[in-house]
Chains A and B, each alone.
Chain A
């Protein structure tokens, strides 16, 4: 107790020195408070954004990682595509093995505790028939020309893909763009996220029954108008590989979609036009797929290659989580359930969220570095000041130890002095920081957001349209590794077809409160850390002092 009393007495008797130490500690405290508040604001913004956010995720083959692990480097490294040192057979093997997990595997991972809901879609491609054609951009008068151009376009499109994939063994990675229509089978009502979110709605008839095996479907308003169809009419779709294999579907509903239908992928075929998407139950689609499998024969394609006529499908499974924590827990759970490292778990919701807080995160990182610099500089100044302080008070140390006061007690008194001064500075600094942290954070954040948006604008100017640089992970996009044939409403229904269309990121531009109890505790930690740093040198000096020598020199 007397140590604290002595410490207070010494502070009061050496005002000048302690005010100097206090000012330095105050500057550090204010800086630390603002820095910590910025970091806390980022954390709070994250938490509040994640709180109550429902998250969907997929499991995908991690091609990038697999290619990264390949001997000979990444494809295209050095500017060329499959180039020197790159083993095309490896690449082919990786790409060939990129088929999705089976439904059974997806279902196994759906048993993870964190999963709230699980649903999947099947996508297959069909051609039309005599009385059922896909919606097309081309005008009727140019039909003949269209035919040749379409073919040429297809060829061109194919040649792009052939150039891309053909050189590695002519693999067909299930592109499946060869049909006129995309037929998407949904496992449940919940999986029809566009309808769940209100981005699409039935305008005539009704949605097919959940899980029905009847060959019923809903089609888009545009497609119905284009073919003069209405509810209860039937449509006939054909196996693209075998014209004689046809299936008749009954239209039970016609939908309209408010999603972006500015279709700009004509080079990939009409099946990629959202207007040419036909929705049905996954069970019903499976009936068709099973029938096609049963009737499969060997056919020769346009390139003279032999293949099975069986209609193939792409499976896309979506896991839904109650919150982001469950999503983060999911990856560990699926690894425990046996998912190997060549697959990864990803979420477009989380990607979009991460994009939205990018400026705040950047600011948080800058604040972190700023804190480190302040600590280093401030710490050095405090250490130097305290070394001078102890040397100046060497005689006092000598007297106290000669009187029988143990060195550690003397050191404790010196530490208490620094602690008291520092804590006073921290309290004042926290007060000033609390008042100034919000406006300072918002001002800095504004700068960050401006910087990010101007970068985006620059890219858009350069491309003449929203650019796709930086992957598909922007707000409203799907991750860049999402299968390219994934239906547009996969992954929450709120997302347009990935970054190909792109969308403005809704950045967090303002924080309302930056200071909270966590920051207060952190500030106390700052005070203790400063005390520890500042007093470390003085403690070492005190422990080395010999009272006899000090007093003898004084005499």
Chain B
């Protein structure tokens, strides 16, 4: 059974159709890439998948349940981890505080939040001194790692990342992709949104979005 299903979803911005009748299945342990040119609706689809927006028609099912009928806040804070394109970290907090805040928001019962947060940050390549640094004082790549650690902080089934390698150098890109691969290997469903064919080539499945005229699976 698929973890996340799209059933004929369509979406319009002010009567301008952006997505039309998209159906797709996402499973555990796989890494997916949604590719497409600018304006194809990649970020819109990510917003729908993460529960930040609702489709104009159609259904998104999480474990067979329509997410429209699940508390959106609970869905976002417990079942799905999102790594935004611009990271969306609280800039006046440290990396560690950002991760702990995410744990707090999820209301998950975690015994030693600080320890877990430090180990998560360590797993994405940030040591303790970097973890205790204000986010603004970290590089783009480090911020990306913090965003990934934050998305994983409450151990969600699905991790979605919008342009995860967009602003990173080649080495960092590789490291980040390795992190996502390891997450998929751990049984998580990883969905990446990218316009990069290189990123797409590293994924198990790709879903290409084209501007409203059509869509195809490669």
Considering only residues 396-414 of chain A, those with a C-beta below 8 Å from chain B are: 396, 398-406
B89 touches A399 (CB 8 A): yes
A9 contacts chain B at the CB level, 8 A cutoff? yes
Considering only residues 35-65 of chain B, those with a C-beta below 8 Å from chain A are: 43, 47, 50, 52-53
Residue tally, chain B, CB below 8 Å to A: 27
Considering only residues 422-460 of chain A, those with a C-beta below 8 Å from chain B are: none
CB of B151 to closest CB in A, whole Å: 10
1/0 per residue, CB under 8 A from B, across A374-414: the answer is: 00000000000000000000001011111111100000000
CB of B13 to closest CB in A, whole Å: 10
Report A-chain residues with C-beta under 8 Å of the C-beta of B92.
10, 13-14
Q: Which of B100-108, B182-190, B192-200 contacts A (4 or more CB under 8 A)?
A: B100-108
Report A-chain residues with C-beta under 8 Å of the C-beta of B105.
2, 400, 403-405
Contacts A2-B101, A9-B93 given: A403-B76 contact, CB under 8 Å?
yes
B167 contacts chain A at the CB level, 8 A cutoff? no
Within 8 Å by CB of B52, from A400, A547, A554, A555, lies A547
Report A-chain residues with C-beta under 8 Å of the C-beta of B86.
551, 554-555
Q: Which chain A residue shows the least CB distance to B50? A: A402
Report B-chain residues with C-beta under 8 Å of the C-beta of A401.
73
Q: Which chain B residue shows the least CB distance to A403? A: B105
CB of B150 to closest CB in A, whole Å: 8
Separation of A6 and B104 alpha carbons in the complex (Å): 10
CB of B91 to closest CB in A, whole Å: 8
B180 contacts chain A at the CB level, 8 A cutoff? no
CB of A305 to closest CB in B, whole Å: 95
A402 touches B93 (CB 8 A): no
Report B-chain residues with C-beta under 8 Å of the C-beta of A10.
92
B117 contacts chain A at the CB level, 8 A cutoff? no
Report A-chain residues with C-beta under 8 Å of the C-beta of B89.
399
Report B-chain residues with C-beta under 8 Å of the C-beta of A14.
92
Report B-chain residues with C-beta under 8 Å of the C-beta of A548.
47, 52-53
Q: Which of B20-28, B77-85, B209-217 contacts A (4 or more CB under 8 A)?
A: B77-85
Contacts A396-B90, A404-B73, A548-B53 given: A9-B78 contact, CB under 8 Å?
no
Report B-chain residues with C-beta under 8 Å of the C-beta of A9.
93, 97
A399 touches B47 (CB 8 A): no
CB of B84 to closest CB in A, whole Å: 7
Interface contacts (Cβ under 8 Å), in number, total 58
CB of A65 to closest CB in B, whole Å: 65
B132 contacts chain A at the CB level, 8 A cutoff? no
Separation of A400 and B76 alpha carbons in the complex (Å): 11
Report B-chain residues with C-beta under 8 Å of the C-beta of A547.
52
Contacts A548-B52, A551-B84 given: A403-B93 contact, CB under 8 Å?
no
Report B-chain residues with C-beta under 8 Å of the C-beta of A396.
90
B207 contacts chain A at the CB level, 8 A cutoff? no
Separation of A555 and B101 alpha carbons in the complex (Å): 22
Separation of A2 and B103 alpha carbons in the complex (Å): 10
B47 touches A404 (CB 8 A): no
B75 touches A399 (CB 8 A): no
Report A-chain residues with C-beta under 8 Å of the C-beta of B106.
404
In the complex, given contacts A404-B76, A547-B52, A551-B84, what are 12 additional A-B residue pairs having Cβ atoms less than 8 angstroms apart?
Answer: A6-B104, A396-B90, A402-B76, A403-B105, A404-B73, A404-B75, A404-B78, A406-B73, A548-B53, A552-B43, A555-B85, A555-B86
| B positions within 8 Å CB-CB of A | 43, 47, 50, 52-53, 73-78, 82, 84-86, 88-90, 92-93, 97, 101-102, 104-106, 150
Q: List 20 A-B contacts (CB under 8 A).
A: A2-B101, A2-B105, A6-B101, A9-B93, A9-B97, A10-B92, A13-B93, A14-B92, A399-B88, A402-B76, A403-B76, A403-B101, A403-B150, A404-B105, A404-B106, A405-B73, A548-B53, A554-B86, A555-B84, A555-B86
Nearest 8 CB-CB pairings of A with B: A404-B77, A2-B104, A404-B76, A13-B92, A548-B52, A405-B105, A404-B73, A399-B88
